[in-house]
Amino acid sequence: GAVVSQHPSWVICKSGTSVKIECRSLDFQATTMFWYRQFPKQSLMLMATSNEGSKATYEQGVEKDKFLINHASLTLSTLTVTSAHPEDSSFYICSARRPGGSRELFFGEGSRLTVL
């Protein structure tokens, strides 16, 4: 069964609105979660590392004020795309690792955002 769950799977919104995507670890506590973005026919690109109880770490070129990340609990991280524009349309995927040193990343189902 799923280890990491994302919601919503699909979202269509008007330009200028904000969209929140939730990522939950289902059977373990994740102090760190990762947010990726994937454009069509492109590779997954790490956007930011979400840290429970502290600020997220953003990759170069990712605007922290546009992509707000909140990791308020050990099982939930949220990504809010603020004032979304059509160029933000993409597949957003979160991931997490089980505690204990495993290198395997478990990915959420992904959220496909379309901004009109």
Give yes or no for a contact between 97 and 72, defined as CB atoms under 8 angstroms apart.
no
For residues 46 to 85, the per-residue mask of contacts with another protein, x marking binding by CB under 8 A and - elsewhere, is: x--x------------------------------------
Provide DSSP, 13-31: E-TT--EEEEEEESSS--S
The angle subtended at Cα 90 by Cα 46 and Cα 17, nearest 5°, is: 110
Nearer to another protein, 108 or 115 (CB): 108
Give yes or no for a contact between 70 and 82, defined as CB atoms under 8 angstroms apart.
no
Q: How far is the CB of 48 from another protein (least distance, A)?
A: 11
Order across the sheet with 67-73: list the strands.
4-7, 19-25, 76-81, 67-73
Near another protein by CB under 8 A: residue from 30, 78, 96, 108? 108
Nearer to another protein, 26 or 82 (CB): 26
Nearer to another protein, 20 or 112 (CB): 112
Is position 34 an interface residue for another protein (rule: CB under 8 A)?
yes
Q: List interacting residues with another protein (CB under 8 A).
A: 32, 34, 41-46, 49, 91, 93, 103-105, 107-110, 112
